[in-house]
Amino acid sequence: MTDDKLLLMIPGPTNVPDRVLQAIAEPSVYHRGEQFSSMLKESVEGLQKIIGTEEPVIVLTSSGTGAIEAAISNLVNPGERVLAFHTGKFGERMGDIAAMYGAEVHWWESKPGQAPDPAEIADWLSDNPVTAATFTFNETSTGVQQDLQAMSEVFTEAGVMSIVDAVSILGGAPVRMDEVGLDAVAAGSQKALMLPPGLAFVALSKPAQQKAAQSTNPHYYFDLTAAIEKLADGQTPYTPAVNLVAGLREAVRMMLQEGLEDVYLRHRCLGTACREGIARMGLEPLVDNPGLASSVVTAVKMPDGLDSSELVQRLRDNDRILISGGQGALKGKIFRIGHMGCCQIDDLCRTLSAVAARLADMGYEADAEDAANAASVAYERCREENDG
């Protein structure tokens, strides 16, 4: 078997449905022609529904970090005070980018697997004014899904511009940007949106668009004001990845056909099922508060004395399933299962059963069939409880 037969159960890139792959494989179209404009327009209309905004959604040819850098560099000027969060690798990346663009960054400490407390942030902000806050909706390195509404309320109340990294969760949980009152949402294509890597998305609130238009940072490729102007004509400033946009249109169509609420419910129930499966193996999630447990990725503590890098390798070699290990200080100590995009319960059960079998090979007693069954039952129960 070759690498292309691997089942990707990592938190991105994810498995790409055949329909999307076929759309990408169509001949390239001219990016200044009518065919591309209509493709982009339909994709953007779909993304507006997925992000929950009436504002334009800028489609960039880059990975997710490009969208984050674009949002931060257009909205944060040198010398401005920014609040950033040590929640994990991606929360830290946002603060580092802000610092690189000349912001005075204030770091909020947080333990891995925990989330900052919005009430404490509100308290702190009353004595420490900042112009912007950068945070992850879903911290992929730990599996914490922030309470977006609570965070947004704190920042709106304090007049702070909220810049959100939704890279690993857009399409897997509702963002409701306008309703919640977020100023910038950044995302990437290769996660819950079921596309290969290569596209990134940014939406800005009206105040954020105004601020971006007066940005004092230099921009060329990532000038969001220029991108918004071009989008009004159904175009992008520079040659976009036209084939990926064809795939994007197809992915958006698939999500709307399934129904966004159903897509979100499927993800939430996959998260519930995954936690049930690992509990049945006697393992603990890194995130002990179920209210913060991610719908799209679950981080699991390794049994004492065992290294998650070995588990990842065994799953890849024996089962042709790819899961992730931990990052930074969590390397070797946790493994992460991504359950996002076109992932179905059967994919998850196959993965859990393989995890249990390989742990057993490594000397930790776990029952593969039992873990998969528990996940499947939990998934059905979750759907029944929430359907309709």
For ligand PLP, the binding residues in 74-113 under the rule CB under 6 A are 90
Buried b (16+ CB within 10 A) or exposed e, 154-183: bbeebebbbbbbbbbbbbbbbbebbebbbb
DSSP string, 324-337: EE--GGGTTTEEEE
For ligand PLP, the closer of residues 186 and 228 by Cβ is: 186
Whole-angstrom Cα distance, residue 252 to residue 171? 9
For ligand PLP, the binding residues in 342-381 under the rule CB under 6 A are none
Buried b (16+ CB within 10 A) or exposed e, 325-346: bbbeebebbbbbbbbbbbbebe
For ligand PLP, the closer of residues 138 and 353 by Cβ is: 138
Structure tokens at 384: 């029944």
Q: Is 168 in the site for ligand PLP (CB under 6 A)?
A: yes
Q: Which listed range, 14-22, 153-161, 164-172, 376-384, lies at the site for ligand PLP (CB under 6 A)?
A: 164-172
Query: Using the rule CB under 6 A, which residue among 55, 69, 80, 165 binds ligand PLP?
Result: 165
Query: Using the rule CB under 6 A, which residue among 46, 56, 64, 325 binds ligand PLP?
Result: 64
For ligand PLP, the closer of residues 136 and 205 by Cβ is: 136
Q: What's the closest the beta carbon of residue 272 comes to ligand PLP, in angstroms?
A: 21
Q: Which listed range, 62-70, 215-223, 227-235, 248-256, lies at the site for ligand PLP (CB under 6 A)?
A: 62-70
For ligand PLP, the binding residues in 21-60 under the rule CB under 6 A are none
Query: Using the rule CB under 6 A, which residue among 23, 59, 151, 167 binds ligand PLP?
Result: 167
For ligand PLP, the closer of residues 182 and 281 by Cβ is: 182
Residues 190/56, Cβ–Cβ less than 8 Å? no
Q: Is 235 in the site for ligand PLP (CB under 6 A)?
A: no
Whole-angstrom Cα distance, residue 43 to residue 316? 34
Structure tokens at 303: 């049994």
Q: What's the closest the beta carbon of residue 238 comes to ligand PLP, in angstroms?
A: 18
Residue 4 has phi, psi (to 5 degrees) of: -70, -5
Whole-angstrom Cα distance, residue 66 to residue 60? 8
Q: What's the closest the beta carbon of residue 169 comes to ligand PLP, in angstroms?
A: 8
**Per-residue contact flags (x/-) with ligand PLP for residues 279 to 318, judged by CB under 6 A:** ----------------------------------------
Whole-angstrom Cα distance, residue 380 to residue 377? 5
How many residues bind to ligand PLP according to rule CB under 6 A?
Answer: 12
DSSP code for 317: I
DSSP string, 68-103: HHHHHHHH--TT-EEEEEESSHHHHHHHHHHHHTT-
Q: Is 324 in the site for ligand PLP (CB under 6 A)?
A: no
Residue 225: HSE in the Cβ half-sphere, 13 Å Cα cutoff: 17
Query: Using the rule CB under 6 A, which residue among 65, 149, 156, 235 binds ligand PLP?
Result: 65
The span from the first CA to the last CA of the chain, in angstroms, equals 42
For ligand PLP, the binding residues in 181-210 under the rule CB under 6 A are 188
Whole-angstrom Cα distance, residue 305 to residue 285? 17
Q: Which listed range, 97-105, 136-144, 204-212, 324-332, lies at the site for ligand PLP (CB under 6 A)?
A: 136-144
Q: Contact residues for ligand PLP (CB under 6 A)? A: 12, 63-65, 90, 136, 138, 140, 165, 167-168, 188
